[in-house]
Amino acid sequence: MARLSWTQRLYWRYFSKPVSQRALFLHAIESPVASILEIGIGSGDRIRNLLVLCRPPEGVSQIRYAGVDPFESANASAPHMNLKSAHRMLAELGVKAHLIPGEPANALQRVVHTVMPSDLVIIDGEWGRDTVSGRAIAEWLPRLCHGGSTIFASSTQGGMFVRVPVPATAIEQSQVRRAA
């Protein structure tokens, strides 16, 4: 991605919508990201905007993306992408994607050993909640991030994203190999 002009940076810093995701967008502008894990894709608008802003670090040709979402089985009250649309959108954006359908509690347990630790982890909903999915996310998070990761989480779907500290038991960054 080309560098953003000062007017584009101004827009993303002060005027981008929704306000609840502004901190996430600013992080993407200011820090190189080689890999993203998103738990709760929703309508896909967030990742579409985020991928436009992200720039991979030197030596990484393509951003690696993993997304966990119920897709077709999601609650009909909120807009959701289906699996086929998500694959199509990510391919058009030039991202190497690994999409995992299912509720976080089951999906993370199935793939935690195949998804490499990510530089940016986005958790949309269930963060810090005493639910099956909330406990599963907290249990598997140290294996899904590394010491240099950045984690943004929201306790409710579509809620305000806050930066969360990386778990002390996360994998050391030196042990993570860069794969694109």
pLDDT digits over 63-89, tens only? 999 999 998 887 766 778 899 999 999
Domains and CATH numbers, the chain: 26-68+104-180 (3.40.50)
Q: CA end-to-end span of the chain, whole Å?
A: 16
Of 70, 49, 173, the closest CA to residue 124 belongs to 70
SS3 80: coil
| pLDDT attached to residue 129 | 82
| pLDDT attached to residue 153 | 94
The shares of helix, strand and coil residues in the chain, as percent rounded to the nearest 5, are: 40, 20, 40
11 token code pair: 């827009």
| pLDDT attached to residue 72 | 85
- For residue 99, report the phi and psi dihedrals to the nearest 5 degrees: -100, 135
pLDDT less than 50: residues of the chain: 1, 179-180
Q: Find tokens 């966990």 and name the residue.
A: 68
**91, containing H or E segment:** helix 83-92
The pLDDT tens digits of the residues spanning 91-103 come to 999 888 999 999 8
| pLDDT attached to residue 178 | 53
The model's pTM is: 0.91
Q: How far apart are CA 135 and CA 32, in angstroms?
A: 30
| pLDDT attached to residue 113 | 84
CA distances from 14 to 3, 21, 77, 103 (A): 18, 11, 29, 34
Cβ neighbours, 10 Å, residue 59: 8
Q: How far apart are CA 78 and CA 90, in angstroms?
A: 21
Of 146, 109, 103, 147, the closest CA to residue 125 belongs to 103
